[in-house]
A and B are shown apart, each in its own frame.
Chain A
Amino acid sequence: MKNATSTTNRSTGRNVLGTSALRPDGVAKTQGNFAFSSDFQAENMLWGATLRSPHPHARVVSIDPTEAWKIAGVEAIIFADDVPGKATYGLIASDQPVFARDVVRYMGEPVAAVAADHPETCRRALAAIKVVYEQLPVLSDMDAAIDPSTPAIHPDGNVIRHQRIVSGDPNIVGDVVVEGTYEIGMQDQAFLGLEAALAYPDPGGAGVELVVATQWLHEDRKQIADCLGLSPEKVRLVLGGVGGAFGAREDISLQVHTCLLALRTGRPVKVQYSREESFFGHVHRHPGRIHLRHHADRSGKLVKVEGWMKLDGGAYASTSAAVLINGITHLQGPYACDNAVLDAWATRTNNPPCGAMRGFGVVQACFAHEGQMDRLAEALGMSPVDIRLVNAMKTGDKLFTGQVVDSVAPVARCIRETADIPLPPEPSRVTGSLELPGGSGRTSDPGHIRRGVGWGVSIKNLMYSEGFDDSAEAKCTLADGVATLKFATAEVGQGFVVLAQQIARTVLGVDTVILDTIDTQIGSAGSTSASRQTWMSGGAVDGACRLVRERLFEHVAHLHNLDPLQLVIEGTEIVDTLGPLRVAVADASTGLRIEQTFLHRHRATEELDENGQGNCHVAFAFVAHRAVVDVDTDLGLVKVVQIATAQDVGQVLNPMALLGQIEGGIAQGLGLAVMEEIVVDDGIVRNPSFTDYLLPTALDAPDVVAIPIEEYEPLAPLGAKGVGEPPCISVTPAIVAAIRNATGRAIMRTPVRPQDICLAD
């Protein structure tokens, strides 16, 4: 990708917007000095640990901690009755107990927590707590959950949400009709920095400070304060170094437990999950089943989409309701179509809770609609590219929800520019080459390889939807030529820290930009999710810097008897556009201290009505992916050779950071295509470790050829769209389509397993 290696603006040498400015935390991270939240320690600190249910559904008959209390070093053991405030929490519905009291609804549900002098003491104490369970029938099937005759496993019922979309003429029929049922497995976010938090109690238990790796400090604070029975200002959160998030840190996990243990013992308490516990400690991507019937006319133009979508939310609601709305409203894909009849359900079962993960319901929808586009192409004798070009959405097109897409929508351009990327060279002719499917297992000989090409194109909403006002606040202080930025934006690895600095350098003409601690001492920035922080927190930082610049111009204009409107920033100088004045920002701001706070809001959205109509989303981004795979058709092994992609980004603000999002997202989408799945068997998780939950290695990662499509987005503060989620969405269907293309097999499920390719259906 162009510019990806130049780290500064060539002409000025400054790390402003548009350059691959280096992240301020980059060197520390590569050298191993960066403090992740698991690295924090406090004097006199205790360790905390959580006792979890081994059963997916059981009555808790009794809990007896007597033996655990006998272990030297145990300082606290707490249960449901020890939660002083609200007994439950949740992002949308407060339906998840801090600790299970009478019943556990999923394997791994917290039942108790201990604090002790050492992690090993904690482990022994947990083992010594006697819990008697009476196992209950496990509800693990979505259809059973939807069936009203199935007994409810939660007071809120077994359907978390149902939504319908009826749009246009529901009875219209196309010349060509194709249908299919698609299935998506449960993916884990698998961030590398495990859950960790350190809580410091205030004297007398009046409040608490929590250092934690999270995606959204203020939402955490609200839920924690409610459960602790404290007012929110008594709960102060500081962002601990976050090693990835991908949605898994949107729900709280260890936050309340850690604070409770600290308040109970009056000592700092640290809780840190192991990889295995992490699999039980956070929500996953919803597994789903989607049935679609596409109608088209002879030219390939979509006439109607009908069908249903079922996503399994598992035991608790988390963000299922919002994921479902994202899912159903994106079932049409990035294609114009007027008519639809769709139903969607998010179910409650005794499976692990599912919630936010990069793509948020759209990954599932895209897997299905892209499968359908290929089926249509085949039925009509068209190419995968042509069927998509014929239907490509444009600015001004209407969605099934009645909402008009007023974002920049270069769908056709994304497809065309992706198609123009050269195909990779032919597969290696060397027996046992590491580049062949099977990799280091050296199973493949060149004669067994078939190459396939597949396409995926997607639409993704940006920001929160359905009336949610996820605003972002930022403060900028300019003093003596140095800007200091304060915001509560969770830096989870995406690079907002460097973007914020680039914005301040560009707007204010300063070179040194100090970042204040990321904590709750300023208003909310909203969640680092939904591809929203560049737009929202970027908008807030931009706004705050502009306010500071106005004050600075006023000050300079006053000194020189000028109209402040004459002044502009050029490089690091303030320049009078109508006269000779030219003064360095550093000089002009000497002795000054200008501080401004800005709250950035996106435009309002609406809830959907019972027919799924309403302007529920803020804006949209688009992307196309073309996958080239080599498949060993006898063994069912796959090597993804190349992913070509053109992504609608609005503006490129940092080419290297953009490429990082694109390559990382593609790796994550590849994982869902060919290996990443939490195997759940009647509520029991079979592979909660990296031994058996497989993530792509360097040998699995494809060559990525990426082209940013830069069409300035007028709705966005910096003209730039969020780029975090799109890379991982349509790459999965593209890879699966390429496998279908190589093998001639239908393959309706992802991740694709070897036996799905080489054994009879």
Chain B
Amino acid sequence: MSVHVPTSLTEAIDLLVANPTARLLSGGTDTMVEVNFNRSKPESVIALRRIAALREYTVDSDRIVIGAGVPYAMMEKGPLAAALPALAAAARTVGSPQIRAAGTLGGNLGTCSPAGDGLPVLAALDATINLRSPRGPRAVPFAEFMTGVKRNSRAVDEIIESVSISPTTGFQDYAKVGVRNAMVISVASVCFVHDTGSSSVRIALGAVGPTIIRAREAEQWLQSQVDASQQLPSHDKLVAEFAQRVAAAARPIDDHRSTAAYRRHAIEVLARRLYLRSTQ
């Protein structure tokens, strides 16, 4: 096995061109599990950790850019957490402190599991995934990036460079149901964003379908019922109907972690709770 440790993105791209089957390695918290389970046997590895640019982020008034190599530990607090509270909340639910120190958003996107905790936040915030290849940069909206269970539209010679997000004003939060109080894979999760600036409500669901699901019908229905440039009203009937419409968007399955019925129920409860948190 060959291991390459590039220190710049261009070097990494050159290496990827020269070794088209090479495995990109960021925090390794997904990759090493696969290797340990013999599900993958990389012949060649390109480790991205020494590329300083990938581990940086910028928070500007009109745009937040997060390098693909930024670990969850950096999203949990500081300027990123202040600008993107939902991402901070999602980051805090990931694994253990060790996993959060190593695991990255780029890796979450590379794996593209429906249970990936960063992904509903990117979906709800309409994030753009910035990819780079020998052909140059390419920007893909999250909704077009994730295409199925552990499938995405990244080309083999592309590296995820960063994600960019337009800041929102108002409330955003993320909540995740697991059967254990920490370090647990999501059974159902919801990211709720109320952007008073764009008068929109955006809600994305994790672990209840092959991809992250945006409950667009429920979003539009709510926007037709309320003035989303203001704080949302909290009367019971409205919230209940919104939550039901959100749950209707879920496409959950039965598996050894949970049941479809519970997952759909949990989505409804979380949608209701996050909505109500936004009104407090």
- Nearest chain-A residue to B184 (Cβ)? A694
A699 with B37, Cβ < 8 A, contacts A635-B269, A755-B261 known = no
Within 8 Å by CB of B175, from A443, A689, A759, lies: A443
| Chain A contacts for B93, CB-based, 8 A | 440-442
- Nearest chain-A residue to B92 (Cβ)? A440
**A438 interfacial contact with B, CB 8 Å:** yes
Most buried by B among A441, A699, A755: A441
Most buried by A among B37, B177, B179: B179
State how many angstroms separate the Cβ of A670 from the closest Cβ of chain B: 11
- The distance in angstroms between the C-alpha atoms of A438 and B92, with both chains bound, is 13
B262 touches A636 (CB 8 A): yes
**B55 interfacial contact with A, CB 8 Å:** no
Task: Name the interface residues of A729-761: CB closer than 8 Å to any CB of B.
Answer: 753-755, 758-759
State how many angstroms separate the Cβ of B256 from the closest Cβ of chain A: 4
| Chain B contacts for A431, CB-based, 8 A | 277, 280
- The distance in angstroms between the C-alpha atoms of A302 and B36, with both chains bound, is 55
**B235 interfacial contact with A, CB 8 Å:** no
A635 touches B177 (CB 8 A): yes
**B273 interfacial contact with A, CB 8 Å:** yes
**A697 interfacial contact with B, CB 8 Å:** yes
**B89 interfacial contact with A, CB 8 Å:** yes
- Nearest chain-A residue to B269 (Cβ)? A634
B180 touches A694 (CB 8 A): yes
A691 with B273, Cβ < 8 A, contacts A635-B177, A679-B256, A755-B258 known = no
State how many angstroms separate the Cβ of A450 from the closest Cβ of chain B: 15
**A437 interfacial contact with B, CB 8 Å:** yes
A700 with B180, Cβ < 8 A, contacts A443-B273, A445-B277 known = yes
| Chain B contacts for A634, CB-based, 8 A | 269
- The distance in angstroms between the C-alpha atoms of A681 and B257, with both chains bound, is 13
B177 touches A637 (CB 8 A): yes
State how many angstroms separate the Cβ of A329 from the closest Cβ of chain B: 34
Q: Interface majority SS on B: helix, strand, loop or mixed? A: mixed
Within 8 Å by CB of B265, from A691, A699, A759, lies: A759
Q: How many residues of B contact A (CB 8 A)?
A: 38
Task: Name the interface residues of B157-181: CB closer than 8 Å to any CB of A.
Answer: 174-181
State how many angstroms separate the Cβ of A56 from the closest Cβ of chain B: 16
State how many angstroms separate the Cβ of A310 from the closest Cβ of chain B: 23
- Nearest chain-A residue to B255 (Cβ)? A686
- The distance in angstroms between the C-alpha atoms of A443 and B270, with both chains bound, is 7
- Nearest chain-A residue to B256 (Cβ)? A686
State how many angstroms separate the Cβ of A392 from the closest Cβ of chain B: 34
B262 touches A755 (CB 8 A): yes
- The distance in angstroms between the C-alpha atoms of A445 and B280, with both chains bound, is 12
Within 8 Å by CB of A759, from B180, B261, B277, lies: B261
A694 with B181, Cβ < 8 A, contacts A441-B93, A445-B273 known = no
**A614 interfacial contact with B, CB 8 Å:** no
A619-650 near B? 1/0 per residue, CB < 8 Å: 00000000000000011110100000000000
- The distance in angstroms between the C-alpha atoms of A699 and B258, with both chains bound, is 21
Task: Name the interface residues of B12-71: CB closer than 8 Å to any CB of A.
Answer: 33, 36-38
- Nearest chain-B residue to A754 (Cβ)? B262
A470-492 near B? 1/0 per residue, CB < 8 Å: 00000000000000000000000
**A276 interfacial contact with B, CB 8 Å:** yes
- Nearest chain-B residue to A760 (Cβ)? B261
Q: How many residues of A contact B (CB 8 A)?
A: 40
State how many angstroms separate the Cβ of A474 from the closest Cβ of chain B: 42
B248-280 near A? 1/0 per residue, CB < 8 Å: 000000011111011001100110010011001
B175 touches A441 (CB 8 A): yes
- The distance in angstroms between the C-alpha atoms of A754 and B258, with both chains bound, is 9
| Chain B contacts for A759, CB-based, 8 A | 261-262, 265
A753 touches B261 (CB 8 A): no
- The distance in angstroms between the C-alpha atoms of A135 and B187, with both chains bound, is 33
- The distance in angstroms between the C-alpha atoms of A440 and B76, with both chains bound, is 12
Within 8 Å by CB of A692, from B33, B185, B261, B270, lies: B185
B256 touches A639 (CB 8 A): no
| Chain A contacts for B277, CB-based, 8 A | 431, 445
- The distance in angstroms between the C-alpha atoms of A681 and B256, with both chains bound, is 9
**A459 interfacial contact with B, CB 8 Å:** no
**B156 interfacial contact with A, CB 8 Å:** no
- The distance in angstroms between the C-alpha atoms of A728 and B178, with both chains bound, is 24
- The distance in angstroms between the C-alpha atoms of A442 and B91, with both chains bound, is 12
**A193 interfacial contact with B, CB 8 Å:** no
**A696 interfacial contact with B, CB 8 Å:** yes
- The distance in angstroms between the C-alpha atoms of A697 and B98, with both chains bound, is 14
| Chain B contacts for A123, CB-based, 8 A | 38
A754 touches B182 (CB 8 A): no
**A368 interfacial contact with B, CB 8 Å:** no
State how many angstroms separate the Cβ of A120 from the closest Cβ of chain B: 9
Within 8 Å by CB of B178, from A441, A639, A679, lies: A441
State how many angstroms separate the Cβ of A387 from the closest Cβ of chain B: 32
- The distance in angstroms between the C-alpha atoms of A753 and B263, with both chains bound, is 12
A440 with B185, Cβ < 8 A, contacts A445-B277, A637-B177 known = no
- The distance in angstroms between the C-alpha atoms of A754 and B179, with both chains bound, is 7
B37 touches A276 (CB 8 A): yes
**B183 interfacial contact with A, CB 8 Å:** yes
Task: Name the interface residues of B169-218: CB closer than 8 Å to any CB of A.
Answer: 174-187, 189
State how many angstroms separate the Cβ of B63 from the closest Cβ of chain A: 27
A699 touches B181 (CB 8 A): yes
- The distance in angstroms between the C-alpha atoms of A699 and B259, with both chains bound, is 24
**A687 interfacial contact with B, CB 8 Å:** yes
Task: Name the interface residues of A428-444: CB closer than 8 Å to any CB of B.
Answer: 431-432, 434, 437-443
A438 touches B177 (CB 8 A): yes
- Nearest chain-B residue to A694 (Cβ)? B180
| Chain B contacts for A758, CB-based, 8 A | 262, 265
State how many angstroms separate the Cβ of A686 from the closest Cβ of chain B: 4
| Chain A contacts for B179, CB-based, 8 A | 637, 674-675, 694, 753-754
- Nearest chain-A residue to B265 (Cβ)? A759
A411-453 near B? 1/0 per residue, CB < 8 Å: 0000000000000000000011010011111110100100000
B273 touches A439 (CB 8 A): no
A441 touches B259 (CB 8 A): no
- The distance in angstroms between the C-alpha atoms of A482 and B176, with both chains bound, is 59
- The distance in angstroms between the C-alpha atoms of A754 and B186, with both chains bound, is 13
| Chain A contacts for B178, CB-based, 8 A | 441
A440 touches B270 (CB 8 A): no
B266 touches A700 (CB 8 A): no
- The distance in angstroms between the C-alpha atoms of A754 and B263, with both chains bound, is 10
B89 touches A442 (CB 8 A): yes
- Nearest chain-B residue to A636 (Cβ)? B262
A699 touches B175 (CB 8 A): no
- The distance in angstroms between the C-alpha atoms of A685 and B189, with both chains bound, is 26
A691 with B185, Cβ < 8 A, contacts A442-B92, A442-B175, A755-B258 known = yes
| Chain A contacts for B258, CB-based, 8 A | 753-755
- The distance in angstroms between the C-alpha atoms of A448 and B270, with both chains bound, is 12
B175 touches A675 (CB 8 A): no
- The distance in angstroms between the C-alpha atoms of A208 and B258, with both chains bound, is 48
- The distance in angstroms between the C-alpha atoms of A686 and B256, with both chains bound, is 6
- The distance in angstroms between the C-alpha atoms of A696 and B179, with both chains bound, is 10
- Nearest chain-B residue to A757 (Cβ)? B262
A439 touches B262 (CB 8 A): no
| Chain A contacts for B184, CB-based, 8 A | 441, 694
A443 touches B176 (CB 8 A): yes
Residues of A within 8 A of B (CB): 123, 274, 276, 431-432, 434, 437-443, 445, 448, 634-637, 639, 674-675, 679, 681, 686-687, 689, 691-692, 694, 696-700, 753-755, 758-759
A-B interface, 6 closest residue pairs, ranked by CB to CB distance from nearest: A439-B181, A686-B256, A441-B176, A755-B262, A699-B182, A699-B181
Known: A442-B176, A759-B261. 7 other contacts (CB 8 A): A440-B92, A440-B182, A440-B183, A441-B181, A443-B269, A694-B179, A755-B261
22 contacts between A and B (CB under 8 A): A274-B36, A438-B177, A439-B180, A439-B182, A440-B92, A440-B93, A440-B182, A441-B176, A441-B189, A445-B277, A635-B266, A636-B262, A686-B256, A689-B37, A691-B185, A694-B179, A694-B184, A696-B180, A753-B258, A753-B262, A754-B177, A755-B258
